[in-house]
Amino acid sequence: MEIDYNLLMLTAKEASKMSYSPFSKFAVGAAVLAKSGKVYSGCNIENSSFGMTVCAERCAIFKAVSEGEKEILAVAIYSPNEEDCYPCGACRQVMYEFQGDEEINIITEKEGKAIVRKMRDFLPFGFKIGSGV
């Protein structure tokens, strides 16, 4: 499938506007392209009980999976607070779970340009039950 990286980044940007982050004031938006071709957006949602916070990437992935998606082709991440904003370790693990035959593309933005990297750059030797040798 042809992936429109700029559209995904635009969707992540729009989603970051919905961020509920009164504590960190660090807004994040994400956009997930599922194998079906559908795009799901998400934002970080914080909580007064800080540990309950959910990252933008997991929000978008959980939306996708709860709509029946099982494979993810790309995840775009955007923060107005930081250029080239990378996914946290927990989100990398959650992404890895939904990697199918095609490796997930992870999209960030630097100097206004979409940067595309591969899942393996962020999580080499990832853990998934059933994928070992």
Instruction: Indicate if 69 belongs to the active site.
Output: no
- Whether 47 and 22 have beta carbons less than 8 Å apart is answered as no
Identify which of residues 36 and 117 has a Cβ nearer to ligand THU in the complex.
117
- Whether 55 and 88 have beta carbons less than 8 Å apart is answered as yes
State the nearest-atom distance from the C-beta of 37 to ligand THU, in Å: 24
3 state SS of 94: helix
Residues that bind ligand THU (CB under 6 A): 21, 24, 26, 28, 44, 46, 53, 55-57, 87-88, 91
Identify which of residues 52 and 129 has a Cβ nearer to ligand THU in the complex.
52
d(CA 31, CA 26): 17
Element (H, E) at 5: helix 5-16
Say which of 2, 14, 46, 57 is annotated catalytic.
Answer: 57
State the nearest-atom distance from the C-beta of 18 to ligand THU, in Å: 12
Q: Length of the chain, please?
A: 133
Which residues form the catalytic set?
A: 57
